[in-house]
Structure 1
């Protein structure tokens, strides 16, 4: 199956999520996503505030963990995909696969947060640390959260691999004007955003390894039965 076929499947799954047709759930999901972004920024403030890491941090929070921005991208991709087969001739299949994996990672993050939002709505609870901890434990998707983090790591390493390949980088750069002229700008820009975010990094591992280590620690802490209702589990010293 081609990268674009995979992308179509992921988008079909995305548009089937119930929050698109439920204003209350959509609002609650936005609250959950805002809380998640604030929590991630707080947890990784030291890492994110290093000048060389700021573009990558912004990429995570807007592209891979975006709300309305991702919905706009999904709408654009849905519109161009039926005529986008020629795009596979403009960019390497491996690069398109990486872009597709990034879209999949973003969708999984949205889906998991939507499950938290659904539980909070059912319990008529506001979005705060205490209630988010209860939601995480009630929904109990620790394995899915670990998969989400590992998918992000995979996307970053694959993007870094192509960024450091002179031939692939040049081929992708040369395809820009053609991609724009043929209406494939959204997908091109989404992939290119990952390249741009990683350019300042001496090594992507210096960013992604500590990020993923902390996130996995938090997942473990949140789901530890003996941690009671202590919201300190959302922090990692």
Structure 2
């Protein structure tokens, strides 16, 4: 299956999520995502606030972690994908596959948080740390969360690989004018934003490895039912 066909499948799944038809669920998901972004920003502040890491941190929080920007991107992609076959012939398939994987990772993050939002609505609970912990444990999707983190890592390393290939970078940059002329700007810009965010990094591993290590530790702590000490399950200090 081609990268664009896979991307179409991911978008079809995204638009099938009930948040698009349920205003209450959409609002609760928005609150959950806002809490998650604030928690991620705090957890990784020492990494995110380094000057060279700020573009990558912003890419994570705005492009790879749902929110209004992702919904706008999804709407644009849904409109152009039926006519995007020409882009496959202009851009290396492996680059498009990485873009598709990044979209899939973002959608998985949205879906997992949607399940938390659904539980919070059912229990008539607001979004705060105690209720989020209860929701995580009730929904019990630790393995899916680990998959989400590992997918993000793979996307970063694959993007870094293409960024460090002069030929691939050159080929991709040369397609920009054609992509824009044929209204493929959203997909091109999404992939290019990943490249731009990684340019200041000496190695993507210096960003993604501590990020993933901490997130996986949090998943373990959150789902450890014997963790009854005073330390927050969402802390990794």
- TM-score, normalising length from structure 2? 0.99
Q: CA deviation at 1:227?
A: 1.1
- In 2, distance between residues paired with 1:231 and 1:31? 24
- In 1, distance between residues paired with 2:40 and 2:64? 12
Q: How do 1:1-237 and structure 2 match up within 5 A? A: 1-228=1-228, 232-237=232-237
- In 1, distance between residues paired with 2:230 and 2:62? 29
Provide the aligned C-alpha RMSD in A: 0.9
Q: CA deviation at 1:66?
A: 2.8
Q: CA deviation at 1:225?
A: 1.3
Q: CA deviation at 1:231?
A: 6.4
Q: CA deviation at 1:229?
A: 8.2
8 Å Cα contact 1:133-1:231 kept in structure 2? no
8 Å Cα contact 1:133-1:229 kept in structure 2? no
Q: CA deviation at 1:230?
A: 5.3
SS across alignment from 1:7: helix
Task: Tell me which stretches of 4 or more aligned residues in structure 1 moved more than 3 Å.
Answer: 228-231
Q: CA deviation at 1:219?
A: 0.1
CA gap 1:138/1:230 in 2 versus in 1, 3 angstroms: farther
Map Cα deviations across residues 34-89 of structure 1 (whole Å, 9 max, x no partner): 00000000000000000000000000000001311100000000000000001001
Q: How many residues align?
A: 237
SS across alignment from 1:95: helix
- In 1, distance between residues paired with 2:233 and 2:23? 31
- In 2, distance between residues paired with 1:160 and 1:233? 32
- In 1, distance between residues paired with 2:66 and 2:57? 12
- In 2, distance between residues paired with 1:228 and 1:86? 56
Q: CA deviation at 1:127?
A: 0.1
- In 2, distance between residues paired with 1:229 and 1:126? 23
Map Cα deviations across residues 141-166 of structure 1 (whole Å, 9 max, x no partner): 00000000000000000000000000
Map Cα deviations across residues 161-184 of structure 1 (whole Å, 9 max, x no partner): 000000000000000000000000
- In 2, distance between residues paired with 1:228 and 1:178? 58
Which stretches in structure 1 are left out of the alignment for 5+ residues?
none
- In 2, distance between residues paired with 1:120 and 1:129? 12
- In 2, distance between residues paired with 1:184 and 1:19? 26
